[in-house]
């Protein structure tokens, strides 16, 4: 009898130790059918990089299990099978279960054990729907089957459909990982939510304020601080955002280094030194380009003696056309060879052209003003 009690005591001790160990880990397990011989990866999606945490080679049964230490703050992870991804978030010791098929891995999976992960699936599918529509419209536009105005209207409609889904979570639970995930979804490297748009800025403010309250030391909270403060500087008339708790810091423009028509790389920081600058993302082949350049030329002629500089960034696909058009312009003209997939445009969250930013003499973004008729008013504020 004593021996039995001793074994029970040892077993209980081991069970308790195992339970305590699992209390510090989260688990992701499930089945991927039709993936015999393929490798499944578990990755951590950080702010600046994606890190592979673990992997398993699947057999015909398709079963997998990953265990990892719980993150210090809510964080994002994904399963990767070839080029297909399943995104989910972890904020504690969740036990997440996923069932998927190799052929439709990223879209038709079933997930249990996390309500946030289920909501993230809805966000992902809405993003994919918008992405497919925008890609379709882009092809029609590039083949000249759609006019500029129609193209922009349809892209905006597709983006609005995504935002309708995303905003349910952003305003419904702004402190959640779903809200953060919804805020930073992209299409062609561009964010759906424009940091310089007054309405979209409210969404950044809602999530930033909540993260600041619930996770003040999280790196993602600090990232949101920076973005929300940058938005405040640009949208000075915005008063409905409650961002009084956010820490202050200097927010300046993002550096751009691109070649001019002679191949010389020109930096925005060098052009903007101690001068007010108009930064313009444009496409010379667009129907609105001549009128825009005429207005820029009028402003440049009028205010050049006050130090005004113009740094114009072309996203034209036809390099030869751009060189010919830019050769007679009196300001700095550069071109991004990545054109529609410009990372520079993505950094400035440019969703449509033209996009115009006004920088003050210290290099701060003072205003985004895409309407040429109101550009002079914005310019006078920094002159």
Q: Where are the domains of the chain?
A: 24-112, 121-234, 257-382
Tell me the mean pLDDT in the region 119-128.
94
Residue 111 in this model has a pLDDT that exceeds 80: yes
Span 257-300, pLDDT tens digits:
899 998 899 999 888 888 899 999 998 888 888 889 999 999 99
**CA distance to 33, 44, 59, 81, per residue, from 37 (Å):** 11, 23, 6, 11
Span 5-17, pLDDT tens digits:
444 454 445 444 4
Tell me the mean pLDDT in the region 337-360.
82
Q: Residues 6 or more apart from 235 whose CB is under 8 A from it? A: 196, 198, 201
What is the number of other CB atoms lying within 10 angstroms of the CB of residue 185? 21
Residue 355 in this model has a pLDDT that exceeds 70: yes
Q: How confident is the model at residue 18 (pLDDT cuts 50, 70, 90)?
A: very low
User: Which pLDDT does position 202 carry in this prediction?
Assistant: 86
Q: Which of 30-34, 59-63, 86-90, 249-253 has the lowest mean pLDDT?
A: 249-253
User: Which pLDDT does position 221 carry in this prediction?
Assistant: 92
Q: What is the mean pLDDT of the chain?
A: 84
Tell me the mean pLDDT in the region 11-24.
52
Q: How far apart are CA 177 and CA 62, in angstroms?
A: 29
What's the pTM value of the predicted model, to 2 decimals?
0.60
Common-topology check for domains 24-112 and 257-382: no
Give, to the nearest 10 degrees, the angle between helix 115-142 and helix 148-172. Answer: 170
Long-range contacts of 57-66 (CB under 8 A, 24+ apart): 58/32, 60/36, 61/31, 62/31, 62/32, 62/33, 62/34, 62/35, 62/36, 63/29, 63/30, 63/31, 64/29, 64/30, 64/31, 64/32, 64/40, 65/27, 65/28, 65/29, 66/27, 66/28, 66/29, 66/42
Tell me the mean pLDDT in the region 86-112.
94
- Reading the block at residue 334, the tokens are 């550069």
Residue 54 in this model has a pLDDT that exceeds 50: yes
Q: How many percent of the chain have pLDDT more than 70?
A: 87
CATH architecture entry for 24-112: Sandwich (2.60)
Tell me the mean pLDDT in the region 292-318.
90
3 state DSSP class of 265: strand
3 state DSSP class of 63: strand
User: Which pLDDT does position 188 carry in this prediction?
Assistant: 63
Tell me the mean pLDDT in the region 54-59.
97
Tell me the mean pLDDT in the region 203-214.
91
Q: How far apart are CA 41 and CA 87, in angstroms?
A: 12
Q: How many percent of the chain have pLDDT more than 90?
A: 47
Least Cα distance to 308 among 319, 318, 298, 320 occurs for 298
Hey, which CATH number is domain 257-382, 3.40.50.1950, 3.40.50.2300, 3.40.30.10, 3.40.50.970? 3.40.30.10
User: Which pLDDT does position 373 carry in this prediction?
Assistant: 81
Q: What is the DSSP string of 167-200?
A: HHHHHH-TTSHHHHHHHT-EETTEESS-TTSHHH
Residue 60 in this model has a pLDDT that exceeds 50: yes
Q: How far apart are CA 211 and CA 221, in angstroms?
A: 5
Q: What are phi and psi of 66, to 5 degrees?
A: -120, 140
For the chain, give the number of residues. 383
């Amino acid at each position: 009898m004593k021996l039995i009690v001793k074994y029970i005591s040892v077993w209980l001790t081991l069970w308790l130790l195992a339970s305590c160990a699992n209390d510090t880990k989260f688990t992701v397990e499930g089945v991927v059918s039709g993936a015999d011989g393929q490798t499944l990866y578990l990755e951590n999606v950080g702010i600046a990089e994606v890190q592979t945490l673990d992997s398993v080679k699947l057999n015909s049964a398709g079963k997998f299990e990953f265990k990892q230490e719980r993150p210090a703050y809510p964080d994002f992870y994904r399963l990767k099978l070839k080029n297909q991804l399943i995104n989910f978030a972890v904020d504690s010791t969740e036990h997440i279960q996923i069932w998927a098929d190799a052929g439709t891995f990223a879209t038709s999976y079933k997930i249990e054990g996390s309500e946030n992960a289920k909501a993230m699936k809805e966000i992902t599918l809405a993003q994919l729907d918008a992405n497919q529509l925008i890609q379709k419209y882009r092809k029609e536009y590039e083949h000249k089957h759609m006019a500029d105005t129609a193209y922009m209207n349809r892209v905006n409609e597709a983006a609005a459909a995504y935002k309708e889904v995303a905003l349910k979570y952003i305003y419904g639970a702004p402190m959640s990982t779903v809200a953060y995930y919804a805020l930073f979804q992209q299409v062609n490297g561009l964010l759906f939510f424009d940091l310089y748009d007054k309405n979209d800025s409210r969404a950044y403010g809602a999530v930033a304020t909540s993260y600041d309250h619930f996770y003040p030391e999280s790196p993602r909270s600090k990232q949101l601080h920076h973005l929300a403060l940058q938005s405040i500087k640009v949208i000075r008339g915005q008063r409905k955002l409650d961002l009084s708790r956010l820490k202050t810091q200097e927010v300046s423009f993002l550096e751009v280094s691109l070649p001019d028509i002679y191949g010389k790389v020109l930096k925005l920081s060098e052009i903007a030194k101690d001068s007010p600058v108009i930064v313009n993302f444009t496409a010379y082949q667009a129907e609105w380009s001549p009128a825009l350049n005429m207005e820029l030329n009028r402003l440049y002629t009028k205010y050049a003696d006050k130090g005004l500089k113009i740094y114009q960034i072309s996203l034209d696909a036809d390099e030869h056309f751009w060189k010919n058009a830019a050769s007679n312009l009196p300001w700095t003209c550069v071109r991004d060879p990545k054109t529609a997939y410009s990372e520079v445009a993505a950094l400035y969250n440019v969703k449509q052209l033209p996009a115009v930013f006004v920088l003050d003499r210290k290099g701060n973004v003072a205003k985004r003003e895409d309407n040429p008729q109101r550009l002079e008013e914005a310019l006078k504020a920094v002159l």
